[in-house]
Amino acid sequence: GEGVQPNIQQARKWLEKAAMRGDNRASYTLALLDEKQKNLVDAYKWYDLAARDGMLDEKVRNKARGKIGQLALNLSSSDIASARSKADTWFQSK
């Protein structure tokens, strides 16, 4: 809100709760936060989750797929495998 300092940790907490409920807009936003902080493996993980079938918003799913392609250019195959594994683990824990 106006006059309030941003609290990224609190925002992440609420975004993760929304992502747990299948809101890929939240997953996409988490990916953007991680990408901005140069945490590309976790960004890939969140984009992967945002792109999965059955998620809420088709437009966001398509944008996430594009971002996955862009990030893949800057990640090693082992980084991508790690990100996918993290996404699978997170998805199965919901």
How confident is the chain (94 residues) per 10-residue block, as mean pLDDT? 77 94 93 96 97 80 95 97 96 84
Q: What pLDDT shows up at residue 55?
A: 66
Q: What pLDDT shows up at residue 30?
A: 97
Tell the residue number behind the tokens 């250019």, with chain if given.
73
C-alpha distances in Å from residue 26, one per residue of 48, 76, 79:
12, 26, 22
Q: How far apart are CA 73 and CA 90, in angstroms?
A: 24
Q: What pLDDT shows up at residue 28?
A: 96
Q: What pLDDT shows up at residue 52?
A: 85
pTM of the predicted protein model = 0.87
